[in-house]
Amino acid sequence: MNREELVAAARTAQERAYAPYSHYRVGAALLTATGKVFTGTNIENASYSLTICAERVALFCAVLAGERHFECLAITSSGRGRLSPCGACLQVLAEFAPSLQIIISTATGELEQYSLREMLPYAFSLETESKS
């Protein structure tokens, strides 16, 4: 699975977005260490804060299917700007895949790639908590 194929899977998932409030559609495709792909899209709610992002839908589906090792995440959006994964999703991704690579498809179709550590250098971890 190459980067373009993973981005295409995210774009397909984006079409399933339920975004009647923001009209901002997001797609995510998560590649596991075993080569499987799990996709997600944002699902909004009339009680806005209950909305879930595309990235977490993809991750939670993968974990439910028994996957816990991930290599790469591709994300796409319907916006004109550049989509950056939200901090909440980065924290949730860091739980399972601190070395994850994140591919962002820009509005113009170019691909940008970052590591999760670059995007969230100080993720919360219980292991770093003071023991005093």
Q: Report, as residue numbers or ranges, the catalytic residues.
A: 55
| From candidates 9, 37, 44, 105, binder to ligand THU by CB under 6 A | 44
10 binds ligand THU per the rule CB under 6 A: no
89 binds ligand THU per the rule CB under 6 A: yes
**Range 87-92, long-range pairs (CB < 8 A, 24+ positions):** 87/120, 88/53, 88/56, 89/53, 89/55, 89/56, 90/116, 90/119, 90/120, 90/123, 91/120, 91/123, 91/124, 92/55, 92/56, 92/59
- Whichever of 9 and 53 has its CB closer to ligand THU, that residue is 53
Q: Are 53 and 65 in contact (CB under 8 A)?
A: no
| From candidates 22, 78, 91, 106, binder to ligand THU by CB under 6 A | 22
91 binds ligand THU per the rule CB under 6 A: no
Residue whose pair of structure tokens reads 């998560």 in the numeric block: 30
Closest separation in Å from C-beta 117 to ligand THU: 17
85 binds ligand THU per the rule CB under 6 A: yes
42 binds ligand THU per the rule CB under 6 A: yes
Q: What is the dihedral of CA 64, 104, 123, 51, to 10 degrees?
A: -60
The Cα 85–Cα 53 span in angstroms is 9
27 binds ligand THU per the rule CB under 6 A: no
119 binds ligand THU per the rule CB under 6 A: no
User: Which residues form the interface with ligand THU (CB under 6 A)?
Assistant: 19, 22, 24, 26, 42, 44, 51, 53-55, 85-86, 89
